[in-house]
Amino acid sequence: MNFSDSEIVASILEEAGFGSTKHIAEADMIFLNTCSIRDNAEQRVRKRLEFMKSLKKKNPQVVVGMLGCMAERLKTQLLEEENVLDLVAGPDSYRDLPRLMAEVESGTKAVNTLLSIDETYADISPVRYDSNGISAFISIMRGCENYCAYCVVPYVRGQERSRDAGSITAEAESLFRKGFREVTLLGQNVNSYQWISGGKTIRFAELLEKAALVNPLLRIRFATSHPKDLSDELLHTMARHKNICKAIHLPVQSGSTRMLDHMNRGYTREQYLDRIDAIRNILPGCAISTDIIAGFCDESEEDHQDTLSLMERVGFDYAFMFRYSERPDTLAAERYQDNVPPEVKERRLREIIDLQQKNSYQSNKEDAGKTFEVLIEGFSKRSDAFYSGRNSQNKVVVFPVTGNNPGEYVCVKISRFTSATLIGDAVNPDSL
Ligand code: 5AD
Ligand code: SF4
């Protein structure tokens, strides 16, 4: 999400006549795009600001700005706390950056943290400045109104709003023409996407289909799905199109219905498992990944065991796992006690990570001997003798370089694996 926002910012600044540089020492203006989702994300930004101070000592002319969720959350307080900052802009005020920068040049500090009900940056064509030229993100909606009890997003990214469907498919078409072969449609809760045009409502399944029809060689991914809104219709749409990747990120957060209710997630353990069964039935071979929070307020040992047993039952291919971090303004911060002791949170998180490692390894083990279509992204990190790409299930696949180029599809038969990577050799496509 932040990466995609940075591309929008780069485009707005380019339009206003600014160029970008990969070398921080050459920059006249430096923007930090920030995240507030967990406290450690904010702590990392504070550390980065220390580094900015050292740069500013060498070059007092350099302008330092903070963008994104942390800017939105702390607003003018940041200018008081962080002397090094000249400019603060929230996620809905990027169009205002040229004016804010002019304000800074005239000698004052500049702030805009107004949230909007309709800003989607639909007309802005993002600058893909740090891209492999093959995969790109397309933001399809902004904000969130789910108000999960632990989550700061609704407060820092504002109301949910969907972007014009036509501008999304046009962006996908333009990326394809430029040689991109994979786009990921991004939103906090893509399943509630809706765009009304000419009295007709386009929902997410239809948008996904339109994106898939751009070209069969363009892979479509999406994130994030909310379990309460994942429809069978969407799964059937995925089944109809080979180029819609068979990978679903479905954050569960906890395996305990009591905790899910406490978190205001809008589904029970059973309802989540029902969605998993629907995926397995309609999309056999589809990868499922998740997010899990350890040690949310009032989480008992039994609740934690429910999370572990749900993980055993589902066998997630991949998971992002976090210890609960209280965020200001959220329902949990206002009404609940952050009462799971740190060492208990730590131990539970460790158990969750250990189990997931086992599951990821098992998932890769089951892929040994299978053949997958892989989109080549470039050389592997370790060696130029190997290509690295991904299969439809979003697993990294590494294989000896062939006569193909990055951006092309090859079939790879898996012979070895680690818990993070599948390793194999290119084979004739007939063997798929
Ligand atoms: N503490 C820990 N993890 C959190 N997440 C969101 N808010 C918090 C929090 N306060 C996690 C959720 C979400 C992912 C993006 O970040 O698992 O799905
Ligand atoms: Fe946060 Fe919940 Fe919205 Fe996701 S759905 S961004 S966890 S409030």
Among the ranges given (57-61, 302-306, 367-371), the one the predictor scored with the smallest mean pLDDT: 57-61
Residue % of the chain over a pLDDT of 90: 94
Best probe residue, ligand 2, of 188, 228, 262 (max atoms within 8 Å of C-beta)? 188
Confidence at 430, pLDDT banded by 50, 70, 90: confident
Ligand nearest to the CA of 332: 1
Q: Is the pLDDT of residue 158 over 90?
A: yes
Ligand nearest to the CA of 2: 1
Mean pLDDT for the stretch of residues 184-206 = 95
Q: How far is CA 30 from the centre of its chain?
A: 23
End-to-end CA distance of the chain: 34
pLDDT tens digit string along 238-269?
A: 999 999 999 999 999 999 999 999 999 999 99
Q: Which atom of ligand 2 is nearest to the CA of 189?
A: 5
Q: Which atom of ligand 2 is nearest to the CA of 152?
A: 1
* 151 C-beta closer than 6 A to ligand 2: yes
* 322 C-beta closer than 6 A to ligand 1: yes
CATH, residue 380:
2.40.50.140
CATH, residue 19:
3.40.50.12160
* 286 C-beta closer than 6 A to ligand 1: no
Ligand 2 mean position, distance from CA 265 (Å): 9
pLDDT of 428: 86
The whole-chain average pLDDT of the chain stands at 96
Which residues, in sequence order, are CB contacts of 149 under 8 Å at separation 6+? 262, 263, 264, 297, 330, 331, 332, 335, 336
Are the C-beta atoms of residues 259 and 266 closer than 8 Å to each other? no
CATH, residue 321:
3.80.30.20
* 154 C-beta closer than 6 A to ligand 2: yes
Q: Which residue has the tokens 């020492």?
A: 25
* 2 C-beta closer than 6 A to ligand 1: no
Mean pLDDT for the stretch of residues 315-323 = 98
Which residues, in sequence order, are CB contacts of 193 under 8 Å at separation 6+? 140, 141, 162, 187, 203, 204, 207
63 and 209 part of one domain: no
Are the C-beta atoms of residues 308 and 352 closer than 8 Å to each other? yes
Mean pLDDT for the stretch of residues 144-150 = 97
Q: Which is it for strands 371-379 and 386-390: parallel, antiparallel or unpaired?
A: antiparallel
213 and 88 part of one domain: no
Residue 48 domain boundaries: 2-112
Q: What is the DSSP letter of 160?
A: -
Q: Is the pLDDT of residue 11 over 70?
A: yes
Are the C-beta atoms of residues 7 and 1 closer than 8 Å to each other? no
Which of these, 322, 306, 300, lies nearest to 251 by C-alpha position?
Answer: 322
* 410 C-beta closer than 6 A to ligand 1: no
Please, what is the angle between helix 342-367 and helix 301-314, to 10°?
10
List the alpha helices (DSSP H) in 178-265. 204-212, 232-240, 257-262
Ligand 2 mean position, distance from CA 392 (Å): 26
330 and 392 part of one domain: no
Work out the number of other CB atoms within 10 angstroms of the CB of residue 112: 19
Q: Which atom of ligand 2 is nearest to the CA of 37?
A: 1
Phi, psi of 48 (to 5 degrees): -65, -35
Which residues are 140's β-sheet partners? none
360 and 375 part of one domain: no
Report which protein residue has its CA nearest ligand 1's atom 18: 291
91 and 171 part of one domain: no
Ligand 2 mean position, distance from CA 124 (Å): 25
Asked which of 365, 383, 418 is the last residue of a domain, the reply is: 365
pLDDT of 1: 76
Mean pLDDT for the stretch of residues 71-81 = 94
Q: Is the pLDDT of residue 370 over 70?
A: yes
Are the C-beta atoms of residues 354 and 364 closer than 8 Å to each other? no
Q: How far is CA 66 from CA 31, 77, 85, 108, 181, in A?
A: 6, 12, 7, 15, 32
Mean pLDDT for the stretch of residues 139-162 = 96
pLDDT tens digit string along 49-58?
A: 999 999 999 9
Ligand 1 mean position, distance from CA 125 (Å): 29
pLDDT of 429: 80
Mean pLDDT for the stretch of residues 289-309 = 98
Instruction: Provide the 3-class DSSP secondary structure of residue 202.
Output: strand
190 and 55 part of one domain: no
On the 0-12 / 13-18 / 19+ scale of CB atoms within 10 A, 343 is exposed
Q: Is the pLDDT of residue 432 over 70?
A: no
271 and 404 part of one domain: no
Q: Which residue has the tokens 């050292």?
A: 54
Q: Which atom of ligand 2 is nearest to the CA of 224?
A: 4
Q: How far is CA 284 from the centre of its chain?
A: 24
* 158 C-beta closer than 6 A to ligand 1: no
Q: How far is CA 47 from the centre of its chain?
A: 23
pLDDT tens digit string along 413-425?
A: 999 999 899 999 9
Asked which of 365, 381, 414 is the last residue of a domain, the reply is: 365
Are the C-beta atoms of residues 147 and 266 closer than 8 Å to each other? no
Q: Which atom of ligand 2 is nearest to the CA of 157?
A: 6
**Is the pTM value of this prediction over 0.85?**
yes
